């Protein structure tokens, strides 16, 4: 008897591609891994808000923290890109 089972990951990837949901899927994965990617303090203060292609918008609690997070913008992008295997971020928009 032949095994016709496919790995769940490949089925999910096919659904994502078929319905053009790559952006939403990537954002979901990033949200799930956020606390593991960044320093705990930054992960608590800055939260992923949206993903538009390669532009990640991050929402930060206060104006003071926005200024501080902007100083580490390139480092945050680098950490995300090192940890997320299926996609890359080019720019971090901080709101």
Where is pLDDT greater, at 29 or 22? 29
When pLDDT is cut at 50, 70 and 90, the band that residue 28 belongs to is very high
Domain that holds residue 28: 22-94
Domain count, the chain: 1
| DSSP for residue 1 | -
| 8 inside domain | no
Q: Tell me, what's the pLDDT at 5?
A: 76
Strands 55-60 and 91-94: parallel
DSSP string for residues in 15-82 = HHHHTT-HHHHHHHHHHHHHHHHS-HHHHHHEEEEEEETTEEEEEESSHHHHHHHHHTHHHHHHHHHH
Domain membership flag for residue 46 = yes
Global pTM exceeds 0.85: no
In the Cβ-directed half-sphere of 27, how many Cα atoms lie within 13 Å? Answer: 16
What mean pLDDT comes out for the span 47-67? Answer: 95
**pLDDT at residue 70, as a whole number:** 94
Q: Which residue has the tokens 């890359």?
A: 88
Give me the pLDDT at residue 38, please.
93
Evaluate whether residue 3 is within a structural domain. Answer: no
For the segment 64-91, what is each residue's pLDDT rounded down to a tens digit?
999 999 999 999 999 999 999 888 999 9
Q: Report the candidate in 66, 47, 67 with the shortest Cα–Cα distance to residue 57.
A: 47
């Amino acid at each position: 008897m032949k095994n016709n089972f496919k790995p769940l990951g490949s089925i999910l990837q096919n659904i994502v591609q078929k319905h053009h949901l790559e952006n939403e899927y990537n954002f979901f994965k990033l949200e799930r891994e956020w606390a593991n990617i960044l320093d705990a303090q930054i992960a608590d203060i800055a939260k992923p808000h949206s993903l538009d292609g390669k532009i990640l918008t991050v929402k930060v609690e206060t104006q003071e923290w926005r200024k501080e997070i902007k100083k580490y913008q390139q480092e945050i992008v680098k950490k995300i890109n090192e940890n997320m295997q299926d996609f890359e971020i080019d720019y971090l928009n901080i709101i």
